[in-house]
Structure 1
Amino acid sequence: MASCAPPKLCNFVLTERLGSGTYATVYKGYSKSAIREVVAVKCIAKKSLNRAATENLLVEIEILKGIKHPHIVELKDFQWDNENIYLIMEFCAGGDLSHFIRSRRRLPEQLIRRFLQQLSSALKLLYEQKIAHLDLKPQNLLLTSSTNPQLKVADFGFAQYMQHEDGHSLRGSPLYMAPEMVCSRHYDAKADLWSVGVILYEALFGQPPFASKSFTELEEKILSKDPIKMPPGVQPSPECCDLLYQLLQRRPQDRVCFPEFFQHAFIDLEHMPSSQSLKTATSLLTRAVWKDQDGDLPAALGLYRQGLEHLIPALHYESDPQRKTALRSKVSEYISRAEELKAVLVSASEAASQQSLSNMELLKAMSKDNLRLCEALKLASCAIQHEKKDMYQALKMHRESLGELIIILEAEDAGRRKDSLHAEVQHLMARAEQIKEDIKMKESKASIMENDAFSESIRNACSIQ
């Protein structure tokens, strides 16, 4: 069918068509003002609107008028004439996440984490305002540019204000639709968290978890009791796998809730790249230098690590090439100093390890009548021995042993064994926290390298075009 010319709109010139759906066509446009601002104009033909579509449009306008967030596409204005209603939106030059994933087959985990942080920050605002999007999918997640892309949530055509769970009509895209929407039509904002899980899966593995040839096949897969399977060849981090598992729970009551989602270790909203990242990092790293100069090495190391947790996001947030280069140099400098301090403190840690193993042997001797305690102490010993070989496995072992030891400690009668066990639990918890910090430092270095590699791949792609 021949393409129609763009409609005429007061104060704007509409050019190429960006996309179309059931009720709307989106055009790229330019304002006629001296600024020549680039916008996206969503044109909805009045004759195509039934009652439900009209209500959806009114809700979409109401929601977008009341929201201003760096990761939600901005509604700049809306107009109408005899034939159409026009939503003048912020223009995102990087296309949508679906195309971005397809062009790269799958995305590196550090980049996925950044995108998920940005999506989560937008969902946090919606959650606070009791709004459910109900059509989250890669096609509705737009990117600001092809270089250093920022993610923005778009298309609130199915969004609702949701005070409580109730009966609702079927909304959204089946491939990303929560089981409760397909099955019972009774759902709440938690349906959005299922969609986030499907998006996370697709970004990690290059395809959604329930790819199907028909709606019937899709429905069977979504409603099946079979566990979600991860394709071979990609090994996400334990934190990423845990989040994916918690999001893709078919029963809403088993699914992670919003507060837990925002606080999850993989999301880590506290350290999301933002305009405040550099200010927070500077304050912490200044204190680290002072402690370092005073000779308080443990405190200095802790502050260097905390500062880097904000300085690396500041590096990702910065778009100016010269300032980015300067920041990268500072990150490398502080990482090197933190590693030097860690090396100085290692000998004391090794001595503490030997002392801890000796204390555990004494505890085992005192605990021959408690098989459960002996097994937990044995696992803790293995964790200490694994710390140099495999930090991730050591941390997993520490968590398992501490889970047992804390329960046993609470049930233990007062006495010498309880005092010794309490001291050992405190020591093991400190070791586990130390390993977590070491893992963060390792991932920080990997994040810098990955960011450089990603930026280079973007530049190469642009030069080919």
Structure 2
Amino acid sequence: MAGKSNPTPPLKVANYIIGDKIGSGGYADVYKAYKTADRKECVAIKAVLRSTLSSGSTDNLITEIRLLKQLNHDHIVQLEDFMCDENYIYIVMEYCSGGDLSHFIKLRHRLSESACQRFLQQLASALKYMREENVSHFDLKPQNILLASRRNPKLKIGDFGLAQLMTESEFSSKVKGSPLYMAPEILLKKQYDAKVDLWSVGVILYECLFGKAPYSSSTMEELIHRIKTDKQIQIPHNTSISSKCRDLLVRCLERDPEKRIGFEEFFNHPFVDLEHKPCPENIDKARALLCQAVEHDEKLNYEEALTLYTESLLYLVPTMHAENDANKRTSLRRSVTQYLSRTEILKKLLSQNGLEIQLPSIPYISSDQTESAESPSINAPSIVMLNSFTVEHHQNVEELLSLASTTATMTGAIDIAKSGELYEREASYSIALEKYELALGKLLSLLSNEPHGRRRDLLLDVIKTWMKQAEQIKGILDTRKREVELLAAAGTDTSQSKQPEKNTFSLADKFGSKVKSESSDKKRESRLERQKSRSRNSSASSIISVLTPISGLASSFQSTKLLTEADYERNCSLQ
């Protein structure tokens, strides 16, 4: 008669009420728990059954506890307590309600470049701190990167079970990590250094951007074969990413560890952009730059003002995204939007004078919806109620991709249009329109030669949908452009400003009937002369009135006094 297996001992953790199981690992289960003193306060408890521990896993557990006690960083899961009884070892950690990055990616299939950059900046900030503490993780993967909340998620590195203290000059030979994310030298050379973490970061970034890891395979044998094959990872060329992003990916995913990017270069890379990460020091820098910008703006030193506004926004936008309080984040978003509007007005004024200034790109401003760790609603609107994609549309796109798998030109164009959807969701409308126009140009060319059949019907359907979206975006951008022109004209000469002519060019003109748009160049010499000769105080107040009063920034950005909606509309309708 077969013996009965011993039942699993019950969990008993003093001062905590054990809730649902939320995860399982190699030698432990993780539970959501509540403090008995305050049942609103949640924690995560990792319960390790002592009878299942080998000597190696015991060493890993001891290392994990020791390192978690040592590390204290905003983007690393915090250890709150640990204890043990005759059956279990308990590790009590902060609870991350947003799940893990792997689930976040799967819900969205892939992330926009701007969302990837924000997450990467957080991850790099934690890695920089870990390097200062000589800690290497050795098991970085989306499943071990948690999201602190469901709204406006913040990344937290967790699971330090394979981590160890290791300087950049030291080497290890023990095989550790998850094959899909581990650097090739761990398997091939049996000797490696701390830079294997940078390979893992590259794989994670690749998966965020393209929806799957570069060595994704259906079997372990296939995966090992791909790792052993001495062939550099190719970054997809049918999707549009910035040169900075592509450069970082290529350098992180260099198979030769000697040629792979080093930690110092990684932390200083322009795509990582740790210089502008959210922190109190950078808020002070932004405040100082804004004060200087407004001062120059009031003196009509537009070139200096534009440069300073742009520099301040490089600090302000990440700060806005990092703010956890929804009301404060909304307040910051309004302020940032107003300063962005002011930069557009100044660009217009300077352009009228024949001045074009090369400025760094300001980070994209995403909607709060984009920052949610909840499953994104197919019909959820973006900031200006544009995202009207139906479930049927998404199904049609996926079916078309399947049918077009042998037509690289078509799949590439579809991927470009899908990236346009991502930027539209983030309210980055200029970039979204650029992607849609590029994709539609390619797809319409293909449509003219496509034979009748299911693939042609699907192609026509998605083209119509993307053209509709692009037309709506163009309407938004045209409206914003007219508002900027009105404000610029008001600042130049309020009494002489005119309503700009309506732009009759549409995407239907460009891609449908091919009707050429009619436009005429307007001479601006007389206006520029009036601008140069007018009194310095004639209309400065009407321009500056669109700005958030700088005095409100003296204590904090959150307490900034904002223009009312009516005030802003009045400024935008100046004749």
TM-score by length of 2: 0.62
Q: CA deviation at 1:61?
A: 1.0
Residues in 2 aligned to 1:263 and 1:124: alpha-carbon distance in whole angstroms: 11
Q: CA deviation at 1:349?
A: 4.7
The answer to whether the 8 A contact 2:172-2:193 is kept is no
Q: Secondary structure at the match of 2:258?
A: helix
The answer to whether the 8 A contact 1:43-1:85 is kept is yes
Residue in 2 that maps onto 1:215: 220
The answer to whether the 8 A contact 1:274-1:313 is kept is no
- Tell me which amino acid in the other structure corresponds to 2:25: G
Residues in 2 aligned to 1:268 and 1:2: alpha-carbon distance in whole angstroms: 54
The answer to whether the 8 A contact 1:277-1:313 is kept is no
**Deviation per CA, 1:293-316, whole angstroms, max 9, x where unpaired?**
223322211111111111111221
Match of 2:34 among 30, 34, 38: 30
Q: Do structure 1's residue 303 and structure 2's residue 308 form an aligned pair? A: yes
Residue in 2 that maps onto 1:195: 200
Query: Residue 100 and residue 224 in structure 1: after superposition, are their counterparts in 2 closer, same or farther (change >3 A)?
Result: same
Residues in 2 aligned to 1:21 and 1:172: alpha-carbon distance in whole angstroms: 13
Q: Secondary structure at the match of 1:136?
A: coil
Residue in 2 that maps onto 1:238: 243
Report 1:105-184 matches (<5 A). 105-163=109-167, 164-184=169-189
Residue in 2 that maps onto 1:273: 278
- Tell me which amino acid in the other structure corresponds to 2:159: D
**Deviation per CA, 1:147-204, whole angstroms, max 9, x where unpaired?**
1000000000000111333342111101001011111121111000000011001111
Residue in 1 that maps onto 2:70: 66
Residue in 2 that maps onto 1:435: 358
**Deviation per CA, 1:236-262, whole angstroms, max 9, x where unpaired?**
111111110010000111111001101
Runs of 4+ more than 6 Å apart: none
Residues in 2 aligned to 1:221 and 1:453: alpha-carbon distance in whole angstroms: 38
Q: Secondary structure at the match of 1:255?
A: coil
The answer to whether the 8 A contact 1:280-1:307 is kept is yes
Residue in 1 that maps onto 2:293: 288
Match of 1:43 among 47, 67, 71: 47
Identity %: 44
Query: Residue 436 and residue 301 in structure 1: after superposition, are their counterparts in 2 closer, same or farther (change >3 A)?
Result: closer
| Structure 1 alignment gaps of length 5 or more | 351-430
Q: Do structure 1's residue 99 and structure 2's residue 15 form an aligned pair? A: no
Residues in 1 aligned to 2:25 and 2:39: alpha-carbon distance in whole angstroms: 30
**Deviation per CA, 1:204-247, whole angstroms, max 9, x where unpaired?**
11111001133332122123232322346531111111110010
Q: Do structure 1's residue 9 and structure 2's residue 13 form an aligned pair? A: yes
Residues in 2 aligned to 1:301 and 1:459: alpha-carbon distance in whole angstroms: 39
Query: Residue 455 and residue 141 in structure 1: after superposition, are their counterparts in 2 closer, same or farther (change >3 A)?
Result: closer
Q: Secondary structure at the match of 1:88?
A: strand
Query: Residue 249 and residue 19 in structure 1: after superposition, are their counterparts in 2 closer, same or farther (change >3 A)?
Result: same
The answer to whether the 8 A contact 2:278-2:318 is kept is yes
Residues in 2 aligned to 1:306 and 1:92: alpha-carbon distance in whole angstroms: 33
Q: CA deviation at 1:290?
A: 0.7
Report 1:250-269 matches (<5 A). 250-269=255-274
Residue in 2 that maps onto 1:323: 328
Which one has a larger percent helix, Structure 1 or Structure 2? 1
Match of 2:91 among 74, 87, 91: 87
Q: Secondary structure at the match of 1:30?
A: strand
Query: Residue 240 and residue 174 in structure 1: after superposition, are their counterparts in 2 closer, same or farther (change >3 A)?
Result: same
Residue in 2 that maps onto 1:336: 341
Query: Residue 2 and residue 240 in structure 1: after superposition, are their counterparts in 2 closer, same or farther (change >3 A)?
Result: farther
Q: Secondary structure at the match of 2:370?
A: helix
**Deviation per CA, 1:20-51, whole angstroms, max 9, x where unpaired?**
12211111111111364210001111122222
The answer to whether the 8 A contact 2:152-2:372 is kept is no
Query: Residue 463 and residue 344 in structure 1: after superposition, are their counterparts in 2 closer, same or farther (change >3 A)?
Result: closer
The answer to whether the 8 A contact 2:108-2:376 is kept is no
Query: Residue 71 and residue 2 in structure 1: after superposition, are their counterparts in 2 closer, same or farther (change >3 A)?
Result: farther
Query: Residue 196 and residue 32 in structure 1: after superposition, are their counterparts in 2 closer, same or farther (change >3 A)?
Result: same
Residues in 2 aligned to 1:2 and 1:107: alpha-carbon distance in whole angstroms: 46
**Deviation per CA, 1:379-404, whole angstroms, max 9, x where unpaired?**
xxxxxxxxxxxxxxxxxxxxxxxxxx
Query: Residue 162 and residue 75 in structure 1: after superposition, are their counterparts in 2 closer, same or farther (change >3 A)?
Result: same
Residues in 2 aligned to 1:320 and 1:173: alpha-carbon distance in whole angstroms: 36
Q: CA deviation at 1:322?
A: 3.0
Residues in 1 aligned to 2:375 and 2:184: alpha-carbon distance in whole angstroms: 40
- Tell me which amino acid in the other structure corresponds to 1:454: T
Residues in 1 aligned to 2:336 and 2:226: alpha-carbon distance in whole angstroms: 46
Residue in 2 that maps onto 1:226: 231
Residues in 2 aligned to 1:94 and 1:453: alpha-carbon distance in whole angstroms: 14
Q: Secondary structure at the match of 1:73?
A: coil
**Deviation per CA, 1:90-111, whole angstroms, max 9, x where unpaired?**
1000100011111111111111
The answer to whether the 8 A contact 1:147-1:459 is kept is no
**Deviation per CA, 1:335-372, whole angstroms, max 9, x where unpaired?**
2222222223235556xxxxxxxxxxxxxxxxxxxxxx
Residues in 2 aligned to 1:18 and 1:6: alpha-carbon distance in whole angstroms: 17
Query: Residue 459 and residue 6 in structure 1: after superposition, are their counterparts in 2 closer, same or farther (change >3 A)?
Result: same
Residue in 2 that maps onto 1:451: 367
Q: Secondary structure at the match of 2:82?
A: strand
Residue in 2 that maps onto 1:53: 57
- Tell me which amino acid in the other structure corresponds to 2:208: A
| Number of residue pairs aligned between Structure 1 and Structure 2 | 375
The answer to whether the 8 A contact 2:139-2:163 is kept is yes
Residues in 1 aligned to 2:67 and 2:373: alpha-carbon distance in whole angstroms: 37
Superposition CA RMSD, Å: 2.5
